[in-house]
Amino acid sequence: MAELTYRDAVARAIAQEMERDPDVVLLGEDVAKAGGVFKATVGLYEKFGPKRVRDTPISEQAFMGAAMGAAMTGLKPVVDLMFADFAAVCWDFFANEFPKSRYMTNGQVKVPLVIRLANGSARFGAQHCQSVENWCMMIPGLKVVVPSSPVDVVGLLAASIRDPDPVIFLEHKSLYAVKGEVPDGEIVDTLGTAKILRPGKDATILALALMVPRALAAAERLKAESGIDCEVIDVRSLLPLDTRTILESLSRTGHLFTVEENPRLCGWGAEVVSIVADEAFYDLDGPPVRITTPHIPLPPAELEDLLIPSVDRIVETVRRTLTA
């Protein structure tokens, strides 16, 4: 058992899969000798060489096209797009090319690639700190994975690389330095599985990425200060979405809260609430509540902290709702 940072877990997962499968290649901006802009690919160039670890020009459309061609002809590219916001620059590949090629060729052409995005808040401003999981979730044919811990980074990234379909793998910038224990040996998780991180009986709290540790901290405070016992679920994967775990938890607790870093309009929690309304309405003891970022661009520096859901806001919202 080793203690790894979230960023080191990224490199560990890629190395594990590159050692296992010679068709796995890594490309993107500054991924080689520089070890990645966020230092999440350190050591891979030295270990696997320039043929399998390649820097690309600062042209997102160009290297997305190169990655797609490589995937269509037998390789399994892992692509570092740097900031998640840059997905907008090459959105045609995300929306039209990656997810539709297998469908439009009746399975004759597969696009087994992973696009790694540094997602979420980190005080870099409105064009470099967006949470884009809801952008990606709306595209049929994409899989969308959002880990919150080093061990999940390793297992879910390995599973994503082995998947025959395109996977958007969202790494939270503010979690890169977080440490956690990761078992030795090969680790491969299962896409589309949520994790219950804290059992509880009074309410279900769903969270992703940076919102997971905040939801856990809020649950502990709620128990200590108000006796409210919350079950916290790390959703981990938006597509496929583990509705069974979510609905089974709700059937036990009767109350649902989603903690979302993405803007409120069309956030992932809205889809979860819709599913609950369709499939578990009579399990609800009150309206589902979404705790989100407002539908405005993120402000610079410390002002960002005022908009992103905080432990205090989660505690206040859950307590007010359940004691009203």
Which residues 6+ apart lie within 8 Å of 238 measured at CB? 133, 136, 137, 144, 145, 146, 208, 268
271 is catalytic: no
User: Can you tell me the distance from the alpha carbon of 14 to that of 6, in angstroms, rounded to the nearest whole number?
Assistant: 13
Structure-block tokens of residue 139: 């595209």
248-249-252-256 Cα dihedral, nearest 10 degrees: -120
**Annotated active-site residue in 128, 220, 248, 271:** 128
DSSP letter at 85 equals G
Structure-block tokens of residue 47: 């270990």
Contact 314, 296 (CB under 8 A): no
Which residues 6+ apart lie within 8 Å of 278 measured at CB? none
**Annotated active-site residue in 60, 133, 231, 304:** 60
302 is catalytic: no
List the catalytic residues. 60, 128
